[in-house]
Amino acid sequence: MSVWNELGFSDNPYSPRPIQGDEQGIRLLVGRNKELKRLLTYLRSSDTHPTLEGPNGVGKTSLVSVSGYILKQNFVIGTSQQALLPISEPFQLTPDDSTASFKRRVLFRVAQAFIDNNESLKARGYNVPDVAQINAWLNSPIISSIGGGVTVFGLGGVNGASGNASNTSAGFSEDGFVTTVLTWLRNCFPTSASGGFVCTIDNLELLQTSKSARALLEGIRDEVLGVRGLRWVLCGARGITRSVASSPRLQGVLAEPILIDPIKEEFIEELITERLNVFKIVDDATIPVGPRGFAHLYAIGGRNLRNAMKYSEDFCIWAVEKEHIDKDADGLYALIEAWMAELAEQYNHDTTGVGGRAWGVFEKLATLGGSISPSQYEEFGFESNQAMRPHLRDLEEANLIESAIDETDKRRKTIGITSRGWIVNYKRSGYVQVGSEI
């Protein structure tokens, strides 16, 4: 039996994982009505692909998952004639990706999506392919190989001697497969109004620089982003999405970013209460981190929802191990304060390599709200960005800040305090929350 079952829950109510696209996910997505409505409007109505910009852990992936589920349900139950069907797992671009490799990866997932949604599309009169044969190929390690080409159960090949080959052969995937899936998309979704599959590119910031992200996205502009029958949502942090969307070659392809800010404090009590209610299986379930305690962890950690969930989870497991769960709500809240203060002390102890000038930069950064651009170096008493850089490097190596490089826009806010950094700031400010509310 898990800790959560012992406490009276069906599962972990403090899971830091993204919300899933289902009915439960709709209940759990609290405080995002405005952003959800805007994203749904773009997916239904715009010929540009929506983009989301916001800090790591703010809930961008959860928002996309729930919006995709809503769009699919609208089609399945008949409240919408537009088939917007999500491909659940997001894609990630890496520096090693080429246009051809990424396109192939996308179309393999699209082929599976045609299989998964075949019946619902067919029932509504959409021109869908007979996917029985391709289903057998996609889900079997053996394909029928004919000579130097590849025949996939009647979809074509060249003459030659028959034999078996592993389902890693590139012949069909590079040529006939790509052509076939693109034809399926055009035939099934001839217009934007008819819909398409909704795909997500997540974590654009992993490309490290906006120049790298821009180059890759410009490379797939026509081959992937321009494919009829595919709708895309692009997600990124640290300003990288806005920088990419402003590229001349991507204007008219990508929409201006929808800004996903941290959830406002006014929604936090409702958010955690809904989670507790969703997972509670007995009326008298033990709640180690209630609304007040969760709001405390959320504020201290710089309003990072993912990390607030993680800290809540860690505290619960610790409280169970130490047999502290029999305390009342006030007692548990006091225990959360003490536990977080001890954690802040540990984090602060790990920063011995940070010098006095770097701490001055950190403290100033906190008072400015925790996010700046390199061009603001004068506000920190430096004569150049280069002069401030070594101190930023010390802070980054201590995991107190994170930064990204934008070679084309030094004004972009690419330097920000991490959740760990906000907790250290909480310790250094005498356990007073400073700056994180901005």
pTM: 0.88
pLDDT at 212: 82
CATH topology for the 356-428 domain: Arc Repressor Mutant, subunit A (1.10.10)
Residue 152 scores a pLDDT above 50: no
More confidently predicted of 144 and 382: 382
Number of H helices, E strands in the chain: 18, 11
The proportion of the chain whose per-residue pLDDT surpasses 90, expressed as a percent, equals 73
Please report, for the chain, the start and end positions of each structural domain, with discontinuous segments joined by +.
32-126+189-259, 128-172, 264-349, 356-428
Confidence tier at 209 by pLDDT (50, 70, 90): confident
Question: Which tens digit of pLDDT belongs to each residue from 257-300?
Answer: 999 999 999 999 999 999 999 999 999 999 999 999 999 999 99
pLDDT at 169: 47
Q: Which residue(s) pair with 405 in the sheet?
A: 209
pLDDT at 237: 86
Question: Which tens digit of pLDDT belongs to each residue from 428-438?
Answer: 999 876 444 43
Categorise residue 84: left if φ over 0, alpha if ψ from -120 to 50, beta otherwise. Answer: beta
| Secondary-structure class of domain 32-126+189-259 per CATH | alpha beta
* Burial readout 360-375 (b: 16 or more C-beta within 10 A, e: otherwise): ebbeebbeeebbbbbe
Question: Which tens digit of pLDDT belongs to each residue from 210-229?
Answer: 788 888 999 999 999 999 99
pLDDT at 410: 56
Residue 164 scores a pLDDT above 70: no
Residue 135 scores a pLDDT above 90: no
Q: Using CB atoms within 10 Å of the CB of residue 114, give its burial: 0 to 12 exposed, 13 to 18 middle, 19+ buried.
A: buried
pLDDT at 436: 44
Question: Which tens digit of pLDDT belongs to each residue from 35-53?
Answer: 999 999 999 999 999 999 9
Lowest mean pLDDT among 143-157, 307-321, 331-345: 143-157
Q: Using CB atoms within 10 Å of the CB of residue 73, give its burial: 0 to 12 exposed, 13 to 18 middle, 19+ buried.
A: middle
Close Cβ partners of 409 (under 8 Å, ≥ 6 residues apart): 210, 243
Question: Which tens digit of pLDDT belongs to each residue from 358-412?
Answer: 999 999 999 999 989 888 999 999 999 899 999 999 999 999 999 866 655 555 5
Categorise residue 224: left if φ over 0, alpha if ψ from -120 to 50, beta otherwise. Answer: alpha
Question: Which tens digit of pLDDT belongs to each residue from 86-132?
Answer: 998 999 998 888 999 999 999 999 999 999 999 999 999 999 998 77
Residue tagged 């710089």 (tokens):
302
